[in-house]
Amino acid sequence: MDLVIIIALSLLLVPLVVLATGPLRIVLGLLFVLFFPGYTVVAALFPHKGNLSGIERLALSFGLSIAVVPLMGLVLNYTPWGIGLYPILISLLLFIAVMAAIAWYRRHRLSPEERFQPQLGIHLKLLSRSWACQGRWDRLLGLLVVMAIMGALGALTCVIASPKAEEKFTEFYILGLEGKAEGYPRKIILGEEGRVILGLVNREHETTIYKVEITIDGERAGEIGPITLDHGGKWEQEVSFAPTRAGPDREVEFLLFKGASPEPYQALRLQVDVLEGI
């Protein structure tokens, strides 16, 4: 009966993952990851009711689940599907089903008197008796183990349940004239212009106004803007700069300003050798 319940709850999780959110999905998801895999492995390895006590089965179920799930993720990482929600869901579901089938087969090779069949009332009585017979330090150690497991489950629940903070940033980049991160002007004849493609992508989750200031060796050489972009909006434009003095390693800087802030939000730099004309 216990194996049937685990399979049923695992199958119930599939539509919840695809279609729903909320506490039921979180609770079932935690059991699916942290308890069901280990429980079915323990059931397959120890079908006899005398092999392990109830508390040992419970502890091993959590411990083996914590060992199995990362190993499965490691294996998935080297497959074409990779590590993702659905590959992990399907892999764990198949693993649980296979282990449950093995456990059912091994149990039914034993007589009904020998096979393990969980009975909550009896196990609670045995657990209370076992607890009463233990010494003070054994009780304390058991309590600490239970508290650690509950604390880990609670922390994981909070992480899953709390919404992730939206990361806000702006992509700011320079490309060569062919639209690739190469082919930048490295040598310029004095009096000629250097050209690059400047790009912006707004990831700020709000409409944002930008401007770009171009400086050469700290001296202002031009300004572009205002540039208004909605969230997800992209802007690219070919821009030019013309150094006024010859010399090696002239620093061309593109300063990005966001909104009304007087301080640069981001900065990009190019080193250019400016050669004297013939």
Say whether pLDDT at 67 is over 70: yes
Q: How confident is the model at residue 77 (pLDDT cuts 50, 70, 90)?
A: confident
Give the span between the Cα atoms of 34 and 269, in whole angstroms: 49
Lowest mean pLDDT: which of 86-100, 143-157, 220-234, 251-265?
143-157
The structure's pTM equals 0.48
Say whether pLDDT at 159 is over 80: no
Average pLDDT on 89-95 reads 91
- Highest-pLDDT range among 17-21, 30-34, 174-178, 274-278: 174-178
Q: CATH classification of 169-275, choosing from 3.40.50.970, 3.40.1710.10, 2.60.40.10, 3.90.1150.10?
A: 2.60.40.10
Say whether pLDDT at 247 is over 50: yes
Q: How confident is the model at residue 54 (pLDDT cuts 50, 70, 90)?
A: confident
Q: Is the peptide bond before 87 cis (omega within 30 degrees of 0)?
A: no
What pLDDT, on the 0 to 100 scale, is given for residue 230? 95
Q: How confident is the model at residue 212 (pLDDT cuts 50, 70, 90)?
A: very high
Lowest mean pLDDT: which of 52-56, 84-88, 146-150, 269-273?
146-150
- For the chain, what's the residue count? 278
What pLDDT, on the 0 to 100 scale, is given for residue 114? 84
Say whether pLDDT at 168 is over 70: yes
Q: Per-domain residue ranges for the chain? A: 2-161, 169-275
The strands making up 247-258's β-sheet, listed across from edge to edge, are 187-189, 266-275, 247-258, 208-216, 219-229
What pLDDT, on the 0 to 100 scale, is given for residue 155? 62
Average pLDDT on 4-12 reads 89
**Residue 176: HSE in the Cβ half-sphere, 13 Å Cα cutoff:** 8
Say whether pLDDT at 123 is over 90: no
Say whether pLDDT at 146 is over 80: no
**Residue 209: HSE in the Cβ half-sphere, 13 Å Cα cutoff:** 5
Arithmetic mean of pLDDT over the chain: 83
Map residue 264 onto helix, strand or coil.
Answer: coil
Q: Which residue has the higher pLDDT, 259 or 278?
A: 259
